[in-house]
Structure 1
Amino acid sequence: MPSFLRRTLTRLAPLVALALAAPPVAAAPRVTTFALENGMQGVVIEDHRAPVVTHMVWYRVGAADEPRGKSGIAHFLEHLMFKGTDKIPDAAFSRIIAANGGQDNAFTSYDYTAYFQRLAADRLELAMEMEADRMRNLRLSEEQVRTERDVVLEERSQRTDSDPFALFSEQRGAALYLNHPYGIPVIGWRHEVAALTRDDALAFYRTWYAPDNAILVVAGDVDPAEVERLARKHYGPLAPSHPPERARPQEPRQLAARRIEYADARVRQPYVVRSYLAPARRQDQARAAALAVLAEILGGGPAARLQQALTIGSDLAVGVGAWYEADRRDPGAFTLYAAPRPGRSLAEVEAAMDRVIADFLASDGPSDEELARVKAGARADLIYAQDSQQAMAQMYGAGLAAGLTLEQIRSWPDAIAAVDAEDVMEAARALFDKRRSVTGWLTGAEDAAAPVGAAPPEDAPAARPLVESGAAQ
């Protein structure tokens, strides 16, 4: 998605002036909701520009809801959901969607698991019928489970175990969370994934995969009344499972700053990353909006303070950035990073990063120009998000599945627009406490054998919009 990271300093002044003088953005898509008697929630987002539809089912369960010692089971079950039912043969789900000119996929995050199909609007009932079928009628053999477990282990080998940036990210996450399951990787620890069984998968499935734990999101060229009729026909007869409350272990008071260092011969470009525990948006939207603005002021583009102090205004770093995980169900992370130039040390760029934070806390806060820049970028992100059918579906699905209300989702742009300098400073003072932080150094070895080149942290988004278009992981 285009981002205000792409704007240059020379374009900043006219862009801000235009944003401040411009009329309100185009009216948001029409969003309607309904609820089925079995507890399923429905959201319809109308988009009549093309005869296509995005059909999504979001389950309010993710990696952070797994039984202790069963890490990776949420992601493993996502794979197994494509194995078939009495009606749909093994592995035929995606082939049927493709034969009807559509695309489908699924993804697992800490707070939700989602399945989607994008296809012609007149094929909506097909997608709904198939998705409703596998919501309660999945069939698994021991052989299917063994085979797919090997697939997941190979996925971990390729995406995590062979990637120093991913391994470093895992270690930082485990250090940031003393007690909360956010410290466990979504894909799971290898030794626990290797021990997952058919019984584990079916127990998780039967507990969480049911209409009263699901959100249906349909976006596209549809009539809301017809969507509700089809939902009642296909999802309405399914029995609820009455899942348990999502009672997760929470963080104790964090009393000590933590530091880690990970060295890997494949790393050519070292970097330092600092993550602070930060409140979730669902708990305090106004504070979350202020933190989102703070992240952009510090690390969002060439005019940001880290850029000016460490890259544009000096020869310390080749890359810097900041981002905030606003949309997790429980407290997430506010993260900054810096990658030193050749000849500069990690200690030097970390000290410079700390000076930027200290100078900001000692200042009067962001200038009017900085606030205007960030809000202009947020305005642009909103326009682009509304132009994407799937982005809008993800915005509502991910938000609701992570515990946001419809009003919080709708009013996020207004929350960003309402942030003032004092809001940002209050958020910064509460955030920047090193006792609630982890600082990590990723370094190479002198005999680097397979350099992977300069890269930002594995979990650093290239462009993190303040008006979220949804998150898929």
Structure 2
Amino acid sequence: LQVQEHVLGNGFTILLVEDHRAPRVAANLWFRVGSMLEPEGLHGIVHFLEHVIHQGTTTLGTRDLAAELPILQEIHDTEQELIAVRNRERNRLRERAVFFDELGWPTTPEMDALRQRLYELEDRDNEYRDFWTTYKWYMQHGGYVRHTDPVPASTEQDYMEMNMALPPEHMELFFRFEAERMVNAVMRGWEAQRFTVLEQVLGGLSRPQTRFNEAIDGVTAQSHPVYTPDGGHLPDFANFTRAAMWRIYDDYFVPNNATLVLVGDATMDGIVPLAERYFGALSRRPEPPADLDIESEQVPGGSVRLDWTEPLSPQVHVRYRIPGMGHPDRPVLDLIAALAGGPHGMAGQTLAAAGTPAAVSADFRVIHTYRFGAPGAFNLVAQAASDGDLATVERALLGVVADLREGRIDAGALERARKRLRVEWAEFLDNPQELAFLIGHHHTMNHWSVLPDLIAARDAATVADVQRVAATYFVSSNRVIATARAEPPEGSGPSWLDFLWADLPGDGR
């Protein structure tokens, strides 16, 4: 992996991997800002910010900025009045019930009137908007994104990234648009985007598997923000304000907190002048707050068991807390995942030999991300054929963990795991957009040089390394076991979902 690095005078970093096989450049712009920095009561605001800053700037997304400015000022003033009223009424707005509708946001008539005024002002501002300007320009000039969405970006626990692949002759568009977005964003369509993001969160929570996965995350560690859903908590959507969003934007969207990763048909000699023209013109700002780096607290009492009472496909999750990316043990954990998971892995083979086949995976997912600079998780997950198989499946998974801890590892299986990782790495090298994402993610978590070191270290790991790492982390005091059944022995009690569905036509599902 040949990565070229160039840092502008204002701290803006450029990473380039040349790949001249096709006339296209994959571009990813990364900011070290994510859901882990969000304070209580504002979970999900960084993901929300990602959507809002794609609504335009002072020069993009408007048909008449002069006509917009008085409306935007009135929106600001009205929101400040709403904040003052909410602060004054804070005791009346407190949630006091045990079971409640998470969309039944506490309010007062005065607050409702101010909120309605904000909706009306946004409708007035929409008359002057040109919707999705940058996305349309990108598409008209050969743009291609990792996911088909007019917000070509993603936000997770410790990053936000913007991505676009363009022909080399149109790369200047990316530099022009994204540099402008860093300093001159206008929060148009704020109320509409609030409900767009809320709809995404509700879509996830409507799936029983998502609710189970988030429950596992919730019991894994005490108060560590890496396990908080990056989409946010539903009640917090009533607390979001533009003022809180501007504070995050001003603190973190600065050149010395940004990295541009390019993979494709480009050279550093051609890229640096563009970067100097657009990103180099931005002033270096104070270093962003270090609120992202919060130490993990262990769960008191160690081992945790979660028995899910909502009907779900039979499954067992065995989870262990593990170090973040950049820790010297992480390459070995990659090898362990390749060794244990999959139909030909240790767990799948053990279950097949016992006459209790199950689909087994081994990964590092927390929420829906697999790599963190903060401590994360190793997951061994088995989908069983029936509830009656769950006890056998759990014993088999714990038996595989014991084999790893004791070094009972077949040499052929270890080599197959190494080959599996080599193939995975070759696939990344063959896909410029995925490679740009991988490099940027590692650089945001730590530094891009950690990535080639990781690849080399996991290929060199031995049985002794696997045994040492497994014995260190795969211990009962560091473990969570979660079980779901198709027919749980007891049903769940009232929840916010029961109240939400009750208000919808039909059965609400």
Considering the TM-score relative to the shorter chain, is it more than 0.5?
yes
Place the TM-score, normalised by the shorter chain, in its bin.
Answer: 0.7 to 0.9
* 2:325/2:445 contact within 8 Å kept: no
RMSD over equivalenced CA pairs, Å? 1.9
Of residues 412-421 and 438-447 in structure 1, the stretch that sits farther from structure 2 once superposed is 438-447
1:58 and 2:37 are equivalent in the alignment: no
Residue 237 of structure 1 corresponds to 281
1:257 and 2:257 are equivalent in the alignment: no
Report Cα offsets for 1:113-163 as digits up to 9, x if no partner.
Answer: 00011111100011110000001110114xx211110111111111x2211
Residue 46 of structure 1 corresponds to 18
Structure 1 position 318, deviation (Å): 2.7
* 2:27/2:261 contact within 8 Å kept: yes
TM-score, normalised by the number of residues in structure 1: 0.82
* 2:175/2:275 contact within 8 Å kept: yes
Structure 1 position 236, deviation (Å): 0.5
Structure 1 position 431, deviation (Å): 1.2
Distance, in Å, in 1 between the alignment partners of 2:217 and 2:164 is 32
Residue 469 of structure 2 corresponds to 427
Distance, in Å, in 2 between the alignment partners of 1:55 and 1:229 is 16
Residues 164-203 of structure 1 correspond to what in structure 2 (within 5 A)? 164-203=208-247
Distance, in Å, in 2 between the alignment partners of 1:366 and 1:113 is 39
1:147 corresponds to which letter in structure 2?
A
* 1:73/1:188 contact within 8 Å kept: yes
Residues 213-362 of structure 1 correspond to what in structure 2 (within 5 A)? 213-242=257-286, 243-254=288-299, 255-265=301-311, 267=312, 269-284=313-328, 287-299=329-341, 301-310=342-351, 312-324=352-364, 327-342=371-386, 344-362=388-406
* 1:62/1:110 contact within 8 Å kept: yes
Q: Give aligned pairs, total.
A: 408
- Match 2:427 to one of 384, 397, 402: 384
Distance 1:37 1:431, change over 3 A: same
Distance, in Å, in 1 between the alignment partners of 2:404 and 2:142 is 53
Q: Percent identity?
A: 27
* 2:222/2:298 contact within 8 Å kept: no
TM-score, normalised by the number of residues in structure 2: 0.77
Distance, in Å, in 1 between the alignment partners of 2:292 and 2:173 is 35
1:366 and 2:409 are equivalent in the alignment: yes
Distance, in Å, in 1 between the alignment partners of 2:187 and 2:382 is 47
Distance, in Å, in 2 between the alignment partners of 1:206 and 1:140 is 13
1:154 and 2:196 are equivalent in the alignment: no
2:161 corresponds to which letter in structure 1?
A
Distance, in Å, in 2 between the alignment partners of 1:343 and 1:108 is 36
Structure 1 position 276, deviation (Å): 0.7
Distance, in Å, in 2 between the alignment partners of 1:273 and 1:118 is 37
Residue 87 of structure 1 corresponds to 59
Distance, in Å, in 2 between the alignment partners of 1:232 and 1:190 is 42
* 1:315/1:341 contact within 8 Å kept: no
* 1:94/1:103 contact within 8 Å kept: no
Report Cα offsets for 1:378-405 as digits up to 9, x if no partner.
Answer: 22222221111112211210000111x2
Report Cα offsets for 1:186-206 as digits up to 9, x if no partner.
Answer: 101111133211112111111
* 1:262/1:442 contact within 8 Å kept: yes
| Residue ranges of structure 1 left out of the alignment (5+ in a row) | 1-27, 448-473
Residue 46 of structure 2 corresponds to 74
1:324 corresponds to which letter in structure 2?
F
Distance 1:446 1:56, change over 3 A: closer
Residue 139 of structure 2 corresponds to 98
Structure 1 position 303, deviation (Å): 2.8
Distance, in Å, in 1 between the alignment partners of 2:387 and 2:248 is 51
Q: Which has more radius of gyration?
A: 2
2:11 corresponds to which letter in structure 1?
G
Residues 397-408 of structure 1 correspond to what in structure 2 (within 5 A)? 397-403=440-446, 405-408=447-450
Distance, in Å, in 1 between the alignment partners of 2:424 and 2:38 is 34
Structure 1 position 324, deviation (Å): 3.3
Of residues 374-383 and 199-208 in structure 1, the stretch that sits farther from structure 2 once superposed is 374-383
Distance 1:185 1:343, change over 3 A: closer
1:210 and 2:254 are equivalent in the alignment: yes
Residue 180 of structure 2 corresponds to 133
